[in-house]
Every structure is written in C-alpha cells, then in structure tokens.
Amino acid sequence: MTDNLLLRAARGQAVPHPPVWFMRQAGRSLPEYRELRKGIGMLESCRRPDLVCEITLQPVRRHHVDAAILFSDIVVPLQAAGVDLDIVAGTGPVVASPIATMADVSSLPALDPDAVGFVAEAIRLLLAELGPTALIGFAGAPFTLASYLVEGGPSRHHVKTKALMYGAPDVWHALCARLADITLTFLRVQADAGVHAVQLFDSWAGALSEADYRRYVLPHSRRVLEGIQGLPRIHFGVGTGELLPAMSEAGADVVGVDWRTPLDVAAGRVPGKVLQGNLDPCVLFAPWEVVEQETRRVIAEGRKAPGHIFNLGHGVMPETDPDVLTRVVSLIHSS
C-alpha cells in the first residue's frame, strides 16, 4: 500500500501520472447506487456496514479510480452522538433543534467512539476487498458542521451562522470546540480502523473573508488536523481561492482547490503543498473534446505543485454521465 499512487503523490513522491478519485464518486450518478438505495434512507444506509462497503466499492469497480472514499456523510457522527437530525432526499441534512445559545451548545453531546462502531466495521470489510486501492476516510470541519447545526439545514448565505459568530463569539468558539472534538473522535475511529488517508471537508468556508476565517475557524480546524498524525490529511473547501494560504496553515498535507483557481496559481499561493483538484464538475457535461482539453490543462497546471491528486473542483453532480468519469480516469492514467 505504501506504493499506492495516491499516497505517493500525497507525500510529494514521484508518480508516473497523477492519481485520481472524485468527490461524491459514490452516489446518485451511479444507477447501481440508486438501485441499492431503493427504500433505504440515507442515514440508515450509512449505518449498515454491508451497504457502506458495497456503495464505496461501486465507483472503484466502474471507474478504476486510485482511491475509494468511505460512503458516509459529514452529519453521521452528529447523529451518532445523539443530535436529532435527518438527511432529507432532495434537500440534505435537516436538524430538529438548531443551535442558538450557550445552553444549546452545552447540551451538544460528545461522540462515544463505540457509537460509530458501524463505520469501523465497514472499513474492516472494505480493507479486505480493496486490494491496492487506497481508502480515504473523512469528516466535516467545525465551520461546515456548525453551519448545518445553526441554520437547521442547507443554507446559501449562512446568515444565522455568521450572526452567531459575530454576535456571540464565546458561543461560537464553544460550539466549534465541541465540533472539533466530535470530528477528531470520528477521524480517529477511521484512522484506527485502517483508512489510508483522511479528508477534512470545510465545504462552506469560502463564505468567509480571510480575516474572519483566521479568527473564527482556523484554530478549530488546526486542532482537528494536528490531532490526526501518521497518514496524509487533505483539507478542502469550495470558493476558497483567497483562503488557501490561511487554510494551508491548518496543517494538512494536501490542499484541495475548487475549479475557480488554476492549480499553477494555487501552487504559488501555498508553496510546498501538494494540491488536489480541480476540474469543474460542469465540464463533464461538455463535448468530450472539451473534457479532454480541460483534463489535460488541469494535469499540466498541477505539475507546478510538489504533488497533484486529480479530482473535481467539487462533488460529482447527480446528473453526470458515469461513462464520462470512466473516460476521464483512463485519460489521466494514460497521460
């Protein structure tokens, strides 16, 4: 496994071509996923090790990507800790009692590692099946988790989240400290069970200015990343072009970049960091000539970094033709 392309690239070692995997590679773009999920709720499917194993393997079998990402969700550890929430089809996570006060934060339970034993079990099943393919574990970063808990669900502008951050910074920091504990516990369970790398998703951090990111978010994400040692750590957010230097200070080995910032520009902003990204997920809907040209551009720009893991700039969209993803993988592998 030390020879796995993804692990080599994450350490900045020479690779014949970039390793490739796709955020949200498991899921609704695959007919075999839609078939398997029929009649089974999202959170229920995350709690069943047999289903997690099968859904995680589906894109590996189909696309021959260099890494699998554990099928789960960023809110799984919150529910396991006892937060009343659901993942509603077509919407996303919905929280029954959003957090607004210090009393709400104090009643947020800690995560008992045994409460996510189903994740450790799924990882054991996966490691027996995966062979040379790397397995990536993941968790949500404190800011992105806080956004769901404070807003009560998906949000465009994160108004309540920012209002809490600016209006009650003590409550905000107490909330993020608790979320950092939950995230760290969740990642440690995955690392102990044997995942080869982890990704911290701070998907919505790009909503913040650099100054606010540094003041309200960076210390908490840093505590999470510094608490996980001995395996490559990837740190990703959307719209974070202006935050890349600050995010890189949180301590990850690999910095994820969305499609807005060319990788050669990103490499200049975070010298010495391995990069992950950054084909625009919408390009997959373009004619193949454009997909090929854009894929080659991303590979060429990625050469400016000490290492490059090919990915999309954000997750695979549900309507994506999976055959295009398979073609992109084979193009990268022959590049």
Q: Which of 29, 30, 49, 71 binds ligand 1CP (CB under 6 A)?
A: 71
Which residue's Cβ lies closest to ligand 1CP? 92
Residue 229 to residue 107: CA distance in whole angstroms: 30
Q: Is residue 333 a contact point for ligand 1CP (CB under 6 A)? A: no
Residue 138 to residue 179: CA distance in whole angstroms: 14
CA 117 to chain centroid, in Å, comes to 20
33 is catalytic: no
Q: Which of 67, 69, 207, 309 binds ligand 1CP (CB under 6 A)?
A: 69
Select from 22-30, 98-106, 247-255, 294-302 the region that touches ligand 1CP (CB under 6 A).
Answer: 22-30
Q: Confirm if 210 and 132 have CB atoms less than 8 A apart.
A: no
Q: Which of 154, 169, 268, 271 binds ligand 1CP (CB under 6 A)?
A: 154
Q: Which of 141, 114, 135, 112 is nearest to 224 (CA)?
A: 141
Select from 66-74, 120-128, 225-233, 300-308 the region that touches ligand 1CP (CB under 6 A).
Answer: 66-74
Q: Which of residues 308-327 bind ligand 1CP (CB under 6 A)?
A: 315
Q: Which of 54, 73, 181, 301 binds ligand 1CP (CB under 6 A)?
A: 73
Q: Is residue 263 a contact point for ligand 1CP (CB under 6 A)? A: no
Select from 26-34, 264-272, 274-282, 304-312 the region that touches ligand 1CP (CB under 6 A).
Answer: 26-34
Which residue is catalytic, options 8, 11, 24, 327? 24
Which residue is catalytic, options 33, 37, 47, 223? 37
Residue number with CB closer to ligand 1CP (48 or 297): 48
Which residue is catalytic, options 148, 202, 223, 269? 148
Q: Which of 251, 241, 266 is nearest to 221 (CA)?
A: 251
24 is catalytic: yes
Which residue is catalytic, options 11, 28, 214, 260? 28
Confirm whether residue 107 is marked as ligand binding: no
Q: Which of 67, 81, 87, 171 binds ligand 1CP (CB under 6 A)?
A: 87
CA distances to 7, 52, 98, 173, 218 from 181, rounded to whole Å, are: 26, 24, 19, 12, 15
Task: Note the residues at the interface with ligand 1CP (CB under 6 A).
Answer: 23-28, 42, 69, 71, 73-74, 87, 89, 92-93, 138, 144, 154, 201, 203, 315
Q: Residues annotated in the binding site, as ranges? A: 24-28, 73, 148, 203, 314
The binding site for substrate consists of: 24-28, 73, 148, 203, 314
